[in-house]
Structure 1
Amino acid sequence: MKRILIVEDDPYIAELQRDYFQLHDYEADLSLDGSEGLNKALHGGYDLVILDLQLPGIDGFEICRQIREKLDVPILIVSAKKEEIDKIRGFGLGADDFITKPFSPNELVARAKAHMARYERFTRMKQEVPQATIDIRELSINKASHRVFLRGKEIMLTVKEFEVLVFLAEHPNRVFKKEELFERIWGFKSNGEIATVTVHISRIREKIEADPSNPQFIETVWGAGYRFAV
């Protein structure tokens, strides 16, 4: 039976969520405090965590950040906060979904089920085709399915962005000039079209780097080109 942790300081909402998950044959535990919720999330072996943001002790943003640093588990934020900046921050910290209150309990269960299934597929995919997967720190690139995951969250790349990322990751710590990357990926001489490479590198960084201005994966070697740092 799948186990779900609900971290919510409103007892009525928390119990409502638990009742709906139990009706769908899930085991659901409650925590009304942020500090207790974080401890349970890190050590309870749950299959999914549901977080409110405004919590006593530790807020939901910090809980999300600490969970994502240590665990590969779906995180759903359910909050009364509706501002776009809160959603961006939540996703940036590693949340898989953001649901605003009031919400449909059935929709919450459906989304939770979908996220758990997606994580299961990701785990199974890594086990079945390890030869087609490149794992570097929290980044996972599956060449067979053309999918990229960062801390368990899928990153959507265009075909060319994916090809650039795979090529660099398959040649770690090696520096490639922009002209060489263009010829290897696009298949013909650059003829000065190296700006295309710069744009694609920039887009990839925006999607996989925590701080695109200080990249930890794709580094710029000034005067030489780019390298994938391992």
Structure 2
Amino acid sequence: MEKYKILVVDDDKEIRNAVINLLSSENYMVIGATSANDALSILDETYSLVILDIMMPEKDGVSTCIDIRKKYYMPILFLTAKNTEDDKHISLSVGGDDFLEKPFSKVELLARVSSLIRRYRIYQNDSQDCDEKYVYIKDLKIDKQTARVFKEKEEILLTNIEYKLLMLLVNNPNKIFTLENIYESIWNERYDYSVNALIMVHIRNLRKKLGDTSRGTKYIKNIWGRGYCIEK
């Protein structure tokens, strides 16, 4: 059985060690880092997940996430003591995939970790096991084998969730997806109304990266009262 590598970044020794011990007991290969600089020096493409504390001295988790996303695509799970919608929105808008509020239960942490890694592995397999290498939508070129997206020869860096969202719509042109459809297709979990904000943040992030704006939508159409689609 493959051992998935996880990087845990938290300046709180007690929390960091507790997370490391818990995940290690579940057969994950877990490495700890006490600061953003340590994390960035350790991280490489062999990691399947980063667990990142938001509140850290010198360089916080949000800035660290931005740096990680310049090079890597693995999911990022934020740990946060904050509990406001603004903090959650900022965490996701910079490239985070999910967040977990402190204090959290062992069961909840393990469930989030398992879900994020499972989705990332599915995302990687989907990008490698494909019949055609390229997909074209207007001036977008999508390399399915490497899961890279280009707009007029310039690469658009997407997180794994953003890429899966784009491919869901691209592979089903003109089909309107509700938030429920999107969540159950991408997260592979049962939909609940409480996840709407999470879905919307990822949709906004993707549309922003593609260049869609409220005044001019070129790719992802918002069909009022129904959902989202890409017209072909």
TM-score, normalising length: structure 1: 0.64
- Deviation of 1:47 after TM superposition, in Å, equals 1.3
Corresponding position of 2:71: 70
- Deviation of 1:116 after TM superposition, in Å, equals 0.8
Residue identity in the other structure for 1:90 = S
Residues 132 and 60 of structure 1, relative CA distance in 2, 3 Å threshold: same
Residues 57 and 130 of structure 1, relative CA distance in 2, 3 Å threshold: farther
Structure 2 segments unaligned to the other structure (5+ residues): 136-141, 151-156, 176-202, 220-232
Pairing 1:51–2:61 present:
no
Aligned mates of 1:35, 1:62 — CA distance in 2: 11
Instruction: Give the match's secondary structure for 1:47.
Output: strand
Pairing 1:112–2:122 present:
no
Instruction: Give the match's secondary structure for 1:50.
Output: strand
Aligned mates of 2:30, 2:204 — CA distance in 1: 37
The answer to whether the 8 Å contact 2:6/2:50 transfers is yes
Residues 125 and 102 of structure 1, relative CA distance in 2, 3 Å threshold: same
Corresponding position of 2:165: 155
- Deviation of 1:69 after TM superposition, in Å, equals 2.2
Residues 113 and 205 of structure 1, relative CA distance in 2, 3 Å threshold: closer
Residue identity in the other structure for 1:11 = K
Aligned mates of 1:54, 1:38 — CA distance in 2: 16
RMSD of aligned alpha carbons: 3.5
**1:181-217 superposed Cα distances (whole Å, 9 cap, x missing partner):** xxxxxxxxxxxxxxxxxxxxxxx777422364499x9
TM-score, normalising length: structure 2: 0.63
Pairing 1:5–2:13 present:
no
Instruction: Give the match's secondary structure for 1:163.
Output: coil
Structure 1 segments unaligned to the other structure (5+ residues): 141-148, 166-203, 220-230
Corresponding position of 2:228: none
Residue identity in the other structure for 1:152 = N
- Deviation of 1:99 after TM superposition, in Å, equals 0.5
Query: Which of the pair has more CA radius of gyration?
Result: 1
Aligned mates of 1:64, 1:95 — CA distance in 2: 7
The answer to whether the 8 Å contact 1:139/1:151 transfers is no
Corresponding position of 2:229: none
Aligned mates of 2:67, 2:8 — CA distance in 1: 16
Pairing 1:126–2:127 present:
yes
Instruction: Give the match's secondary structure for 1:73.
Output: coil
Percent identity among equivalent residues? 27
- Deviation of 1:39 after TM superposition, in Å, equals 2.2
Instruction: Give the match's secondary structure for 1:4.
Output: strand
The answer to whether the 8 Å contact 1:206/1:212 transfers is no
How many residue pairs align between the two structures? 173
- Deviation of 1:218 after TM superposition, in Å, equals 3.9
Residue identity in the other structure for 2:121 = E
Aligned mates of 2:174, 2:27 — CA distance in 1: 44
The answer to whether the 8 Å contact 2:158/2:206 transfers is no
The answer to whether the 8 Å contact 1:138/1:151 transfers is no
Residues 17 and 129 of structure 1, relative CA distance in 2, 3 Å threshold: same
**1:80-113 superposed Cα distances (whole Å, 9 cap, x missing partner):** 0111111111111111111110101221122111
